[in-house]
């Protein structure tokens, strides 16, 4: 039986644009093992590629999230603040969450605070099985707002495995996005 991220990789096999598993599964792909239970699976794509993905997954129906409500996604191009889509395979009922990401001039731009950016060429990494996933520092940045127990577990699983440059980037980004966050002091301790 395929793991959830292997199923997604099969669905995305013909997709020739940047994408990656997001959320907690991205953390597990980076760590190299399943670290906790997951309730769903998400992928990140670039906003500019939304229609290409929709064409590829033509046997799926999609709903956009608008003010916490699910609304059918028609032919329109989705712009901010809409960034989340939920897809359902029309035959099998499989489900997938899609997260649209902003890239401008080769820089990923954090939609919650455009002062924070990251090189788009480093946005997606690959597991030993060649499954793309969202860079763990980006995943953790999103998880830092309203941190839950599982988010903190993801941070602990990753913090000692990322390089010093990534630790510094995450620490600086957290200082901008959520000043005073617990992870800042933990990262600063690692950087000494």
DSSP-derived secondary structure for 99-130: EEEEEETTEEE-TT-TT-EEEGGGSEEE-TT-
Question: For position 38, what pLDDT does the model report?
Answer: 82
Tell me the pLDDT band of 3, cut-offs 50, 70 and 90.
Answer: confident
Q: 14 in a domain, yes or no?
A: yes
Tell me the pLDDT band of 96, cut-offs 50, 70 and 90.
Answer: very high
Q: 184 in a domain, yes or no?
A: no
**CATH value at residue 100:** 3.30.460.40
Report the alpha-carbon distance of residue 116 to residue 176 in Å, rounded: 8
Say if residue 191's pLDDT is above 70. no
Q: 49 in a domain, yes or no?
A: yes
**Residue 27 CB contacts under 8 Å (≥ 6 apart), including other chains:** 35, 136, 139, 154, 157, 158
pLDDT tens digits for range 21-52: 999 999 999 999 888 888 889 999 999 999 99
Which residue range is the domain that position 37 belongs to?
Answer: 4-135
Tell me the pLDDT band of 189, cut-offs 50, 70 and 90.
Answer: confident
95-103 average pLDDT score: 96
Q: 169 in a domain, yes or no?
A: no
Tell me the pLDDT band of 2, cut-offs 50, 70 and 90.
Answer: confident
**Domain tally for the chain?**
1
Question: Cα–chain-centroid distance for residue 104?
Answer: 17
pLDDT tens digits for range 129-171: 999 999 999 999 999 998 999 999 999 999 999 999 999 999 9
Q: 171 in a domain, yes or no?
A: no
| Cβ atoms < 10 Å from Cβ of 14 | 7
Q: 11 in a domain, yes or no?
A: yes
Q: 176 in a domain, yes or no?
A: no
Say if residue 192's pLDDT is above 70. no
């Amino acid at each position: 039986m395929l793991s959830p991220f292997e199923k997604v990789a099969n669905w995305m096999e013909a997709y020739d644009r940047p994408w990656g598993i997001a959320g907690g599964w991205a953390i597990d792909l980076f760590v190299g093992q399943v670290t906790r239970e997951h309730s769903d699976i998400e992928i990140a794509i670039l906003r500019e590629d939304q229609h290409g993905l929709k064409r590829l997954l033509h046997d799926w129906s999609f709903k956009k999230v608008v003010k916490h409500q699910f609304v059918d996604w028609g032919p329109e191009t989705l712009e901010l603040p809409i960034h989340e889509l939920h897809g359902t395979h029309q035959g099998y009922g499989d489900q997938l969450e899609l997260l649209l990401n902003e890239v401008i001039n080769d820089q990923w731009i954090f939609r919650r605070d455009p002062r924070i950016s990251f090189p788009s060429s480093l946005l997606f990494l690959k597991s030993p099985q060649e499954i793309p996933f969202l860079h763990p520092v980006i995943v953790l940045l999103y998880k830092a707002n309203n941190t839950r127990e599982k988010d903190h577990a993801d941070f602990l699983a990753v913090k000692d495995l990322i390089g010093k440059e990534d630790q510094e980037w995450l620490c600086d980004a957290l200082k901008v996005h959520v000043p005073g966050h617990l992870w800042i002091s933990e990262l600063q301790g690692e950087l000494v």
